[in-house]
Amino acid sequence: MGTIRDSLDLRALRFAVAFPLLLALGFAVCAQMLRNDLPDPVAVMWNPDGGSSFAPFGAYVGGGAALIAFCGWAAFLQAVPISRPVVMRRVMMGVGLMVSLFITTVLAAGLVGQTGLDDARSSHVDPIVLAMGSGAAVSLGVVLMFAFKPDPRWTREDDAALELERLRAADPDLSRDSLRLWVHARSSVFVMIIVSALFPAALIAVAVPWLGALVAAAALVGAGFLFARVRADRGGLQVFAGGIVRVLAVPAVDIDAAAPAEVKAADFGGWGWRHHDDATAMLVSSGPAVVVRKLNGRRVALSAGTAATADKLAGILNRAAERAHGGGQAGNPG
């Protein structure tokens, strides 16, 4: 039992097993209340003219109840293992509720649509029951996604968080020596890209769809290089174009000095990721930036958003370089 408790959320497991079962039982009981008003056999499939396939009432109800329980369990049980991400468990719990309620709605709409008829061939699925039940299934599923709180368990992420807190307690300057930020070009630049590339791509797509899609894709890739995610800590500097592709990586041991500066993108070859003379740059615009001089004489330049952020980033990199060099003083980049 201890192993089960360590691997499964027993509270979620009880709900995952009981809810589809009770829902299937409720469907069977309600179907029995309509039994005397239904034709025999009942329709199980329909076309525009009415019922097209038929089955005995018992088979319809029994098979429908089994389908509710089986599909509900298949979805709900994905939310039970505690090793899965919390977000996934919440989503699957909501999906399980949606699936089981939707199947119940379809089955109920089929029976209600046949109530009072002598021949199931003239029946149709009741649209009101189907619409109301489907809407309720979706809305209740979304509510459960937000309301479900998985049982707390100690995970590897908790170990990492505890270790980070321990390091911060032992070294109060650790937080000061870490920075994460996003930088991006001015909004007018993106408007220009839309006007000059995406609009023409839409027109080209009317005549040559693949060429229009290619132009649009090229524009989106270019726009992505006008976003950058910057990560600086005691290990050094990393810059990711579009937040995904790492284009700059400078270990702290390779840094001679870093300084804030007002730069012109043209001096480093333009916007985006550039190699120009002795410099490698990731600039999303002209303006506040940090220029890093490496021990091999090369320079690295990256946009910093604001002058205050540039000062902070340069300070972190200089302290990281000083630590990496054994406490020696970093120089001043030229």
pLDDT in tens, 4-24: 666 788 888 889 999 999 999
**CATH code of the domain covering residue 291:** 2.30.29
Are residues 216 and 137 part of one domain? Answer: no
Among 263, 261, 280, 278, which residue's Cα sits nearest to residue 332?
261
Among 107, 100, 85, 134, which residue's Cα sits nearest to residue 17?
100
Query: Is pLDDT larger for residue 291 or for residue 191?
Result: 291
Give the domain extent around 295. 176-185+226-334
Query: Is pLDDT larger for residue 29 or for residue 194?
Result: 29
Angle at 41 between CA 40 and CA 43, to 5 degrees: 125
H or E segment and range at residue 263: strand 255-263
pLDDT at 107: 92
Are residues 265 and 209 part of one domain? Answer: no
H or E segment and range at residue 214: helix 209-224
Q: Are strands 50-55 and 255-263 parallel, antiparallel or unpaired?
A: unpaired
3-class DSSP state for residue 74? Answer: helix
pLDDT at 160: 76
Give the model's confidence band at 102: pLDDT under 50 very low, under 70 low, under 90 confident, else very high. Answer: very high
pLDDT at 227: 84
Are residues 233 and 205 part of one domain? Answer: no
* Global pTM value: 0.49
152 part of a folded domain? no
The pair phi, psi for residue 256, each rounded to 5°, is: -90, -45
108 part of a folded domain? yes
Are residues 266 and 295 part of one domain? Answer: yes
Residue pLDDT, tens place only, 71-87: 999 999 988 888 788 88
Cα-to-chain-centroid distance, residue 117: 49
Are residues 72 and 96 part of one domain? Answer: yes
32 part of a folded domain? yes
- Cis geometry, peptide bond prior to residue 41 (ω within 30 degrees of 0): yes
Are residues 271 and 304 part of one domain? Answer: yes
240 part of a folded domain? yes
- Domain total of the chain: 3
pLDDT at 329: 45
Record the tokens describing residue 184, joined without a space: 């991006």
Are residues 249 and 331 part of one domain? Answer: yes
The pair phi, psi for residue 274, each rounded to 5°, is: -135, 145
- The CA distances from residue 245 to 156, 163, 182, 240, 328, in Å, are 26, 28, 14, 5, 33
H or E segment and range at residue 213: helix 209-224
